[in-house]
A and B are shown apart, each in its own frame.
Chain A
Amino acid sequence: MNLSRRTLLKAMGVGAAALLSPQVLRAAALPHVVVVGGGFAGATAAKYLKMWGGLGVEVTLIEPNATYVSPILSNLVLNHQKTTDDLSFNYVNHSTQYAVNVLHDLVSSIDSANQTIALQGGSSIAYDRLILAPGIDFIDISGLDSSKVPHAWQAGEQTNLLKAQIDAMSDGDHFVMTIPAAPYRCPPGPYERACVVADYLKINRRFANCQVTVLDANANITVETAMFQAQFDGYDIAYRPNSVVQSVDSDARSVTFSENGGASQTLTADTLNVIPNQKAGKIIFDADLNSGNWAPVNPLNYESTRASNVHIIGDSQGTGQPKAGHQGNSEAKVCADGVLRSLQGLPLDPAPKTNSACYSPVSSTHATWLTAVYEYNSALGTMQLVPDAGYPAAALPSTGNYRDMFNWAGNLFADTFA
């Protein structure tokens, strides 16, 4: 049977559509909200703007990639429990179920005075409200080439590169990872990774002589401290806090660092995983929306304090809430509601709440969780943990939590992409 054009191209995947150079010319007919970045925060914002705003608002989502690979659960690729395909999502539902205009392009510049953005493809788009969700960018480390020494802190190729290097290890080899100074994306993530990799090498592959070393720029394990410390002890992981990376030799897979402010020392690994310090996405700096490494916003609607009608959600925003996919999804809803209200001249919700939840695997069978609810402090104009509620709350590793982890992630993925 011959395939029709449509079926054939469907079989080839959405990449075929991405080959075309998209261009938009427009003038204001409906209020136009442009969302830049299709991760957990941006994809949720675009969906909820149309779900709540319907035919009264035009929404355009600009994301360079046709496929998004979730960093959430991606440590399970390293121990062969998941593949990056399992964690891949696209924007077809945004297009067909919610009538979001989807453009696979990069924003080259923002003109917040004239409310337009320029795309790398050459065209320019006018907006009434702009929502930026560019995720994270990395702070340079001398000598670091992430194509040789992966960070695997944005999922996809990087994840598979690190997986391949771990797969190539043999008994007696040394896995070294470095943890960035807080704040960074996904607070429990690096500790989770150390456990998952140690479990994989020592239990699954029975490499009794493999060594796992964690160089942490922070003074202590940043979250679920006692639990992760107990796991590290169990796996015999060498945990070295206050270890600040100074340079990397990407070919030799060696890292030079200072521990407790002492003299430089160098550690050579068989697999080296350097997760650099982080800052807001590049577009935030290009558009002068940052203060320090992050973008200051009003937590009532995530509008930039540095430019009107520009909103920043997800990892780039600087409210102090955790940088993670679940949290980005949560912020996106407050932002979408705030944008739709402001387009109608309605007052903002004076007391929005967000929440964070994260299940962390510590092996191929056990997981923990961490959760918190945030509220607005009107006196300070900031988000804070709900007082006297015992936040953040956490749980010890269990197989029940490991199963629940997939229900959590499944509904989070669907709430964002389906």
Chain B
Amino acid sequence: MTIRRPFMLTSLSAALLLAGCGGSGSSGTPTSQVSTASITGTVPGTLIEALCTDGSYYSTHSTDDGSSQHPFSLTLPAGINCQLVMTTNEGQTNQIITPIRIQSNGVTSGLMNTTVAFNLGYVPLLMDRADPAFRDTNGDGVVDEPLVITPDLPEGTNLTELSQNPLDSDNDGIPNVYEDDDNDGEYNKIDDDDDNDGTADVDETDDNDRDDDGIDDRYDSDDDNDGIKDDEDDDDDNDGVRDSEDTDHDDANDTSSNTSTNYTPVSAYTLTTGRLLAAQCAMCHGTNGHSTNGWDSIAGESASETIEEMREFQSGGEDEPIMEAQAHGYSDAEIEALAAWLATQSSSEGED
């Protein structure tokens, strides 16, 4: 059941100003990092978080301006789907975490993207766990149902209801980070052992999503959801060990480029003949040359090695008739181009 009690709740409420950064490819800047500092005084603050489908994380706190409706502003990347979560009484025993769903023009979704600044208006968050409207079956402080709000969305703002929402695998409106997968009363974000198997999350060898946000680390632009993009973060997994000295998970050194992901931004899309040709090897040898089975991986071989092998195949010198057949399909120049590209790929499957 959806909690809708806009006027019976007093104390804290908020106005959300979402400023987009459209234009020439500049992405949003996180306004702050996750803060664990508790709010002092008698008026608790509200933490506003945005989890985005590129894996990035943004957060801010509302400002106590003395009124009952504390304003806040959060800058999000333009055009990327994000889910909002709001926390009242942060860090206190009465903490309430409320994922937000937005309803507009007949669409209800937790995922929103915008290219323009707009005002969400008043968000009627619950303030007290004793409130009869508060429903929290597993006692983890996260409401059972997201709060649905109905702001007027301006042109340039979109609600996206996906069949498969990576941030919310079961589409119940509660993002993965605020689910409690092992039902131990700690939601995944703070639970160091999400599956209760005795191995800390950070040491799980099969965990490709260290911040539990639903975005695989291969694509996640902020692996630890600390608000610092991996290409600026010197400790991608927040384990206190700098990336350059961390043997388990982190990128070796990522101060200059985003090494968590293997994509080329389209704004820098380059003419790489070799890549398209090499992609035609992937059906048999795996994406980017990384085979998933007994057949050869071809990533990371030196160009001269690949060229020599292809010539051997062409001459029938290797006893591999299907490769002999395939090798006849490519010119010397094409073989050199695909070999040069494959040589740029790491021979192991990324950082794991």
Contacts and interface: CB of A to CB of B under 8 A. Distances in A.
Interface stretch (B59-67, B304-312, B326-334): B326-334
A23 B214 contact: no
Nearest to A375: B329
Interface in B249-308: 261-267, 269, 271, 273, 275-277, 279-280, 282-287, 291-295
Contacts of A404: 295, 322
A20 B163 contact: yes
A4 B187 CA distance: 10
Given A29-B115, A391-B329, A56 B266 contact: yes
Interface string B33-77: 000000000000000000001110000000000000000000000
A411 B162 contact: no
Interface residues of B, number: 81
B280 A330 contact: yes
Contacts of B81: 101
A369 B284 CA distance: 13
B292 A66 contact: no
A338 to B, nearest CB: 9
A354 B328 contact: no
Contact of B295 (A50, A393, A407): A407
Contacts of A337: 276, 279
Interface in A1-44: 1-10, 14, 16-18, 20-27, 29-31
Contacts of B325: 371-372, 389-391, 393
Given A24-B161, A96-B216, A411 B269 contact: no
A185 interface: no
Given A66-B163, A389-B328, A97 B271 contact: no
Contacts of A7: 181, 183
B266 A17 contact: no
A101 B160 contact: yes
B292 A410 contact: yes
A33 B214 CA distance: 23
Contacts of B171: 9, 16-17, 20
Nearest to B287: A415
Contact of B163 (A17, A51, A340, A415): A17
B336 to A, nearest CB: 14
Among A48, A91, A355: residue with most chain B CB under 10 A: A355
Contacts of B179: 4-6
Interface in B128-186: 138, 155-156, 158-166, 169-172, 174, 176, 179-183
A414 B176 contact: no
Nearest to A98: B219
Contacts, number: 251
Given A16-B170, A17-B171, A334-B276, A6 B158 contact: no
Interface in A360-376: 369, 371-373, 375
B183 A4 contact: yes
B84 interface: no
Contacts of A326: 283
A58 B25 CA distance: 14
B162 A340 contact: no
Contacts of A391: 325, 328-329
B164 A4 contact: no
A99 B166 contact: yes
B113 interface: yes
Nearest to A20: B171
Contacts of B266: 31, 53-57, 340, 343-344
Interface of B: 22, 25, 27, 53-55, 78-81, 105-107, 109, 113, 115, 138, 155-156, 158-166, 169-172, 174, 176, 179-183, 209, 214-216, 218-219, 221, 261-267, 269, 271, 273, 275-277, 279-280, 282-287, 291-295, 321-322, 324-326, 328-330, 334
5 contacts: A24-B160, A50-B263, A99-B55, A404-B295, A408-B295
Interface of A: 1-10, 14, 16-18, 20-27, 29-31, 48, 50-58, 66, 91-99, 101-105, 123, 326, 329-330, 333-334, 337, 340-341, 343-344, 346-347, 349, 352-355, 357, 369, 371-373, 375, 386, 389-391, 393, 395, 404, 406-408, 410-412, 414-415, 418
Given A340-B266, A372-B325, 13 more contacts: A2-B183, A4-B180, A9-B171, A24-B162, A51-B262, A52-B275, A53-B264, A53-B269, A96-B216, A97-B219, A334-B276, A411-B293, A415-B282
9 residue pairs, one from A and one from B, having the closest CB atoms? A373-B329, A56-B266, A29-B79, A54-B263, A9-B170, A393-B325, A389-B328, A104-B163, A6-B179
